[in-house]
Amino acid sequence: MVPETQPENRSGTAPLTPPEATAPLPLDAYPPAQVAAIVESVGVKKAELPIVQTAMLGLLAGAFIAFGAMFYSLTITGSTLGFGPTRLLGGVAFSLGLVLVVVAGAELFTGNNLIVMAWVSGKITLKQVFRNWGIVYLANAFGAAGCAVLFFLAGGPGLGGGALGETTVRIAEAKAALPLSEAFFLGILCNTLVCMAVWLCMAAREVVSKVFAIVFPISAFVALGFEHSVANFYFFSMGTLAGGEFGFGDSIANLAAVTLGNVLGGGSVALVYWICYLQRAE
C-alpha cells in the first residue's frame, strides 16, 4: 500500500500547511483579570498623587473634555445627515476629549470613579477616595469653564455666522431643563460607558488600540444623550456666555444629579469587576 503524501507545492516554497494545523492568533490585549489588577494598581497611584500634581492634571482633563465638547458642537451644527448619523458623528468628535485624557495623561473625575476598586480591596482609605475626587472634580470644573471662557474670547461662538453659539445655547438649555431624575439616570448610564472605555483602554497594549477602544463607548454615550458632569461644566459655561436663557440654580441642580449618577455608574463598574476578578485573591 502506497503511503499518502502531502500535495506537491509547485511554487518551490515550503510545503503547504493544512488550515487545521495553523495555531490561532493570540489576543493582543491584557485579559480581564489582569486589567482588574492594573486598574487597582492605578487607583492606588492616583490616590497617592500630591495635591498640586493632581490639581494640574485635573485642570488639563477639564480642558481636554471641553475641547471634545467644542468639537462635538461644531460637528452637529448645520448637519443634514439626519438625527442618528449626526449624533453618531458628534460622538466620534467628542471622543477627542477622552483620547487626550488617556493618551496624553490627565486626571478626569468620571474615569477616577474606578478607584473604588482600590478602596474595596483595602489598598486605599475612603478619605483618600474623596480627597482625590474632590480635588479632581474642582480642577475639572475650572479647566472646562476656563476653556469655555478662552473659546468665547477667541470668538468661537461666532463660527458659522453664529450657528455654533446657537447650537451650544440649545444644548445648555436642554440640559438645564432636564428633570433631575432623568439627569441622574442618564449620569449613571454615561459613566458606565466612560469607565468601560477606560477599562478597554487599560486592556490595550499600544496607542492605536487605545484610541479605538475609547471611540466606540464614548460615541455611544454621546449619541444616546447620556449626561457627563465635566462636559456639562463646559456647556453651561459657554451657554451662559453665549446668552442662554436658563437659571444658575437649574445648572447647579443638573450638575449635582449628573455627578451623583456618574459616581454610581463608574463605582458600579469597579465593584462588579472587583467581585468577578479580585475578591477571591483578597
Question: What's the pLDDT score for residue 26?
Answer: 63
Phi-psi region of 225 (alpha: psi -120 to 50; beta: other; left: phi over 0): left
Q: Hey, what's the cell of 263? A: 459616581
Question: What's the pLDDT score for residue 278?
Answer: 87
* Domain ranges, ordered by start, for the chain: 30-281
**SS3 per residue for 49-108:** CCHHHHHHHHHHHHHHHHHHHHHHHHHHCCCCCCHHHHHHHHHHHHHHHHHHHHHHHCCC
Q: State the pTM of this model.
A: 0.88
Question: What's the pLDDT score for residue 29?
Answer: 81
- Residues contacting residue 249 through CB under 8 Å, at least 6 positions apart: none
Q: Hey, what's the cell of 120? A: 474595596
Question: What's the pLDDT score for residue 24?
Answer: 53
**Domain at 30-281: CATH code:** 1.20.1080.10
Question: What's the pLDDT score for residue 282?
Answer: 55
Single-letter amino acid, residue 230: V
Single-letter amino acid, residue 126: L
Question: What's the pLDDT score for residue 257?
Answer: 98
Encode pLDDT of 1-40 as tens digits.
445 554 555 545 545 455 554 555 566 788 989 999 999 9
Report the C-alpha gap between 2 and 116 in whole angstroms: 68
Query: Is residue 194 within 8 Å of 217, Cβ to Cβ?
Result: yes
Mean pLDDT, 10 residues at a time, the chain of 282 residues: 50 50 63 93 95 98 98 93 93 96 96 96 95 98 97 94 95 96 98 96 91 95 96 97 92 98 97 90 56
Question: What's the pLDDT score for residue 30?
Answer: 85
